[in-house]
Amino acid sequence: GLVGLVEKDYDWVMAGPDDAPHDKKAKHPETGCCACGAYTSPFVMQLYAHALEESLFNSEEGVNTFCRFINKNARVLHDRENSRRGGMFVILSRKPFQIPLSYEVGPWAVEPFWAGKTINWSYV
């Protein structure tokens, strides 16, 4: 469903990572009972690139659609200007990345979405 929405380049469709970590002890994804979201914040751009590469990364317009989804749509919808500091750039490379089994976030061990899985994109 996400791929189809992003491909249509609706101006109201925007990236939305889960950036609220929860201690692994409070979640039980291995049993199919996950009480909270799927922590994606540290590698969200990589996940979106992995999911959307086949449909968007074959043309310049597709890459522009990806950029609008990742950043520009939310700024326009919420009436936010671009950063005066020049903004932050993320550079992705089509190189395998294995999602860590866990992250240390404060006192918690957080198990991210697709822990241990290898995806196609890495940060440069």
Q: Kindly report the three-state secondary structure assignment for every residue of 76-93.
A: HHCCCCCCCCCCCCCCEE
Closest CA to 120 of 89, 90, 98, 91: 98
Q: What is the pLDDT of residues 15-31, one digit of tens each?
A: 987 777 777 776 665 66
**Under 8 Å between Cβ of 45 and 19:** no
**pLDDT tens digits, the chain, 124 residues: what are they?**
889 999 999 999 999 877 777 777 766 656 666 556 678 888 889 999 999 999 899 899 999 999 999 988 888 888 887 666 666 678 899 999 999 988 888 888 888 888 899 999 999 8
Decide: pTM greater than 0.75.
yes
Could you tell me if 73 and 14 are in contact, meaning their C-beta atoms sit under 8 angstroms apart?
Answer: yes
Query: Tell me, what's the pLDDT at 112?
Result: 84
User: Residue 54 burial (CB < 10 Å; 0-12/13-18/19+)?
Assistant: exposed
Task: Read off φ and ψ for residue 118, nearest 5 degrees.
Answer: -100, 130
